[in-house]
Amino acid sequence: MAANFSNPVVRWIDHRLPVFTFMHHELHEYPTPKNLSYWWNFGSLAGIALVIMIVTGITLAMHYTPHVDHAFDSVERIMRDVNYGWLIRYIHMNGASFFFIVVYIHIFRGLYFGSYKAPREILWMLGVVILLLMMATAFMGYVLPWGQMSFWGATVITNLFSAIPLAGESIVTWLWGGFSVDNATLNRFFSLHFLLPFVIVGVVVLHIVALHRFGSNNPLGIDVKGPKDQIPFHPYYTIKDAFGLGVFLIFFSAFIFFAPNFLGHPDNYIPANPLVTPAHIVPEWYFLPFYAILRAVPDKLGGVLLMFGAIAVLFILPWLDRSPVRSGQFRPIFKIFFWLLVIDVVVLTWLGAKPAEGWYVIGTQIATVWYFLHFLVILPLLSIFETPKPLPKSISEPVLGAGGGFAGATAAPREKV
Amino acid sequence: MIARLTTTIAAVAVAAGAWSFAVSGPAQAAGPAIEYPQHDWSFSGPFGTFDRGALQRGFQVYKNICSGCHALSYVAYRNLEDLGYNEDEIKAIAAQALVVDGPNDDGEMFERSGIPADRFVSPFPNEKAARAANGGAYPPDLSLIVKARPDGANYLRALLVGYVDPPADFNLMPGMNYNAYFSGHQIAMAQPLWGDDVTFEDGTAATIEQQAEDLTTFLAWAAEPEMEERKRAGVMTILFLLVFTGLLYATKRKIWADVH
């Protein structure tokens, strides 16, 4: 059980507090399917992105002032006078976008390879909880610089709660801590923006506990049949994840150093002004698909319910897709619909940035209907009518020609590197 | 394995491209689109730097023309070192400003001449005073103007050279000026540049276009004084990461060589 550590100090501590045994068990010898593709890199990348956000965030909080009269100035002070303040802030700013990119890829990987299916339902649901927490955290973080989009984004989104029947208005006043988005709102958003990342850490720990109960899913979507199918996490996946991190950092750095404001909105460099409404209030890009769904319904309450429904439907996904086959590789029809869903979400993202008028509205409504149709109708029907391809006996012994990656590449999963 | 890695990276790149296309919406969404002439800036591109001559000339334009109405409150006189001025020159520039300081030991506010540590003195004590002096319009602080507008540098340059005669059927409100590139074409600011508004110290001819270009370069610097350092750090970072990631990939291949 206990691992053999050569260092006597480590041995002494481990005998009394078995943290080293625990780490050895979960990070070193932890048996992992040997056929994981690069799509499996995005889980660890998401964890690293979270750490980057917390470290830069704590540093920014040392220089930031959460007050309506000083917030904007303090951010500019960070940009101009704090040593490498511009670097820390641009990492944090773009880090939010990259955190979402990584997590969205991670989610779509799970969708394609059926990672939400038994026995990993709770693992999947915890992931959806993390997504919700991330959204709340990102939204409140965007308010802190107190620019025009900060202020008006906060006003629009908090106002959504006024759609709740009877108590709506009171709830909004309660959220604001006053009768408009003001200093009290900014203060509580700062407080919660500082708190929630640590709540995310907590749920991530649960996510990993649930993951390590049955181990990772894999591109074939079949259970591991024995030690032949597995390799220890270290050094195989530590080095593979490290390489993936390197690639990620190259993309990330390109934005931080050469296009730091590309993903932001110019209006947020105008100090918040409650008397001047921007021509178009748009949320950050990672909210656009949900923003599009919100605006697809002419009724406010209906829009809000549908927007939250778009996430809620993910919670019950394990019970909507009843097909016993996990991996999309062996589901010829599912595969087509998966890519249609990807296109649908990209279209929703695009439409979310457009003004709600003319054909954009109709397009948004069609894309929204398709989103829900996919989860609520197509997946349940596919579980009944689709005939999956034959599954390989085991990871080490795949049936002939049944390989293939996420993007339809025909590399055999056991291909030698 | 390389094939699979390539597909993964390609797929991610395609998705990223689709996303950035989808995301590039907000900039276009604002109002009826007005195309700005695209200028070739000394500071554009991953290796672009601010032309020092343009910066100093632009500062001269700001000081002599714009600073009468527009504040530049996030920039300090000491920052002018970036423009190539030495310490004595900066002290002299700062000393021309009258800074309200205090209260002193008697509880009174007093005026003193500026020092390099002071931020640029604003032309008006507050927004109300600025509006009162400008027919109700508020001349915005220019510290961040290039970052605060989509395609900021090209927009600003276009605006400065965009004062032309309005079309015959255009209904110009009293006290407003026609500008080809301003949203709605009615701008409260009267034409600021006419040509030869300043005499450049380096002898460059002060045409409207030259002054507009130099002023925009100066304000681009004011908005992003860290830009040159940022790009330099970026080149080093990415070069390092390319080598480091290459080594990681080689190591990965070696470690995985025995997995089959």
- Report the number of distinct structural domains present in chain B: 2
Q: Is the pLDDT of residue A204 over 60?
A: yes
Catalytic residue selected from A216, A267, A327, A374? A216
B187 to chain A nearest CA, in Å? 17
- Cβ contacts (< 8 Å) between B31 and chain A: which residues? 279
Complex prediction ipTM: 0.90
Convert the pLDDT of each residue in A65-82 to its tens digit.
999 999 999 999 999 999
More confident of the two residues B118 and A409? B118
Average pLDDT score, chain B: 90
- Cβ contacts (< 8 Å) between B29 and chain A: which residues? 279-280, 282, 353-355
Nearest to A150 by CA among A58, A266, A46, A262: A266
Q: What mean pLDDT is predicted for residues B108-124?
A: 97
Average pLDDT score, chain A: 94
Return the pLDDT at B11: 60
Regarding whether B234 and B183 lie in a shared domain, the answer is no
Query: B10: pLDDT confidence band, cut at 50, 70 and 90?
Result: low
Q: Is the pLDDT of residue B25 over 50?
A: no
Nearest to A207 by CA among A330, A103, A77: A103
Nearest to A408 by CA among A340, A324, A336, A341: A336
Q: Do B230 and A105 touch (CB under 8 A)?
A: no
Q: Is residue B91 part of a domain?
A: no
Question: Chain B contact for A407, CB < 8 A?
Answer: yes
Q: What mean pLDDT is predicted for residues B15-26?
A: 51
Regarding whether B69 and B42 lie in a shared domain, the answer is yes
Q: What mean pLDDT is predicted for residues B198-205?
A: 94
Q: Do A243 and B237 touch (CB under 8 A)?
A: no
Give the CA-trace dihedral at B102, B104, B107, B108, to 10 degrees.
-60
Q: Is residue B82 part of a domain?
A: no
Regarding whether B128 and B67 lie in a shared domain, the answer is yes
Query: A2: pLDDT confidence band, cut at 50, 70 and 90?
Result: low
Return the pLDDT at B14: 58
Q: What token pair was written down for B159?
A: 């605006």
Q: Are A315 and A125 in contact (CB under 8 A)?
A: yes
Alpha-carbon distance values, B40 to B44, B154, B213 (Å): 7, 9, 10
Q: Is residue B169 part of a domain?
A: yes
CATH of residue B44:
1.10.760.10
Q: Is residue B62 part of a domain?
A: yes
Q: Do B226 and A246 touch (CB under 8 A)?
A: no
- Cβ contacts (< 8 Å) between B25 and chain A: which residues? 282, 350, 352-354
Q: Do B238 and A282 touch (CB under 8 A)?
A: no
Q: Are A140 and A192 in contact (CB under 8 A)?
A: yes
Regarding whether B14 and B127 lie in a shared domain, the answer is yes
Regarding whether B127 and B12 lie in a shared domain, the answer is yes
How far apart, in whole angstroms, are the C-alpha atoms of residue A339 and residue B126? 56
Q: Is the pLDDT of residue B23 over 80?
A: no
Interface of A with B in 166-205 (CB under 8 A): none
Regarding whether B144 and B20 lie in a shared domain, the answer is yes
B105 to chain A nearest CA, in Å? 27
Regarding whether B215 and B123 lie in a shared domain, the answer is yes
Return the pLDDT at B152: 96
Regarding whether B168 and B220 lie in a shared domain, the answer is yes
Q: Is residue B123 part of a domain?
A: yes
Convert the pLDDT of each residue in A139-192 to its tens digit.
999 999 999 999 999 999 999 999 999 999 999 999 999 999 999 999 999 999
Q: Is the pLDDT of residue A385 over 60?
A: yes
Q: Is residue B88 part of a domain?
A: no
User: Is A97 in the active site?
Assistant: no
* Domain hosting residue B248, numbered range: 226-260
Q: Is the pLDDT of residue A406 over 70?
A: no
Q: Is residue B128 part of a domain?
A: yes
- Cβ contacts (< 8 Å) between B251 and chain A: which residues? 239, 243
Q: Is residue B129 part of a domain?
A: yes
Regarding whether B257 and B143 lie in a shared domain, the answer is no
> pTM for this structure?
0.92
Convert the pLDDT of each residue in B225-235 to its tens digit.
999 999 999 99
B234: nearest CA partner in chain A: A257
Regarding whether B174 and B69 lie in a shared domain, the answer is yes
Convert the pLDDT of each residue in B83-94 to its tens digit.
999 999 999 999
Return the pLDDT at A416: 39
Regarding whether B240 and B140 lie in a shared domain, the answer is no
Question: Chain B contact for A236, CB < 8 A?
Answer: yes
Peptide linkage before A119 cis (omega within 30 of 0): yes
Question: Chain A contact for B3, CB < 8 A?
Answer: yes
Return the pLDDT at A102: 98
Q: Do A346 and B148 touch (CB under 8 A)?
A: no
User: Is A357 in the active site?
Assistant: no
Query: How many residue pairs bridge chain A and chain B with CB atoms within 8 Å of each other?
Result: 161
Regarding whether B178 and B211 lie in a shared domain, the answer is yes
Q: Is the pLDDT of residue B6 over 80?
A: no
A373 to chain B nearest CA, in Å? 22
Q: Is the pLDDT of residue A373 over 90?
A: yes
